[in-house]
Amino acid sequence: MKRRIVVALRPVSPVERLLKVGASLCRRMEAELEVLADPIRSDWAEIEARLSALEKDGVACRLTPAPGLDAKHVVEHARRHECVSSVVVGRPAAWAGEGHVDPWSKLECPLVAASDHPDLPEEK
């Protein structure tokens, strides 16, 4: 079974940054890349084109439609697929919404915060 890195995209996620981090992890771990995103995104075609470019660079990719994507959906997706080695998101706290329970606490693999850096724009 091949390892998989899941990149989850919110509508305001820094797509290029997250794909770069996800692809880098895939290369280091010899894993495939799966991108979860809502299919109504206006940049869906650009994401497909970016994944095609990554495929040409040797990273196996797939784009999985995830209508109404939220943290609970991402965690459930990762738990359903034992091959998921890591989940990449922008700012984990931005996914939390207004609930009092940390949605990432049930994730059984590492969570990578790809945009938790003071020099990057705030993801809200």
Q: What is the mean pLDDT of each run of 10 residues along the chain (124 residues)?
A: 93 89 96 96 95 96 95 95 95 72 88 71 53
Taking the C-alpha atoms of residue 60 and residue 34, their distance in angstroms, rounded to an integer, is: 9
Output the pLDDT for position 103.
Answer: 84
Q: What is the pLDDT of residue 71?
A: 93
pTM as predicted: 0.90
Measured N-to-C along each axis, helices 44-56 and 15-29 cross at an angle, to the nearest 10 degrees, of 30
Q: For position 101, what pLDDT does the model report?
A: 72
Edge-to-edge strands of the sheet including 84-89?
A: 61-65, 32-37, 4-8, 84-89, 111-113
pLDDT value of residue 100: 59
In this structure, what are the phi and psi dihedrals at residue 39, rounded to the nearest 5 degrees? -65, -10
Closest by Cα among 33, 24, 23 to 3 = 33
Taking a C-beta distance cutoff of 8 angstroms, is the pair 40, 12 a contact? no
Domain covering 4-113, topology: Rossmann fold (3.40.50)
Domain positions in the chain: 4-113
Tell me the chain's radius of gyration from C-alpha atoms: 13
Q: Is residue 87 within 8 Å of residue 33, measured between CB atoms? A: no
Confidence (pLDDT) at 122? 56
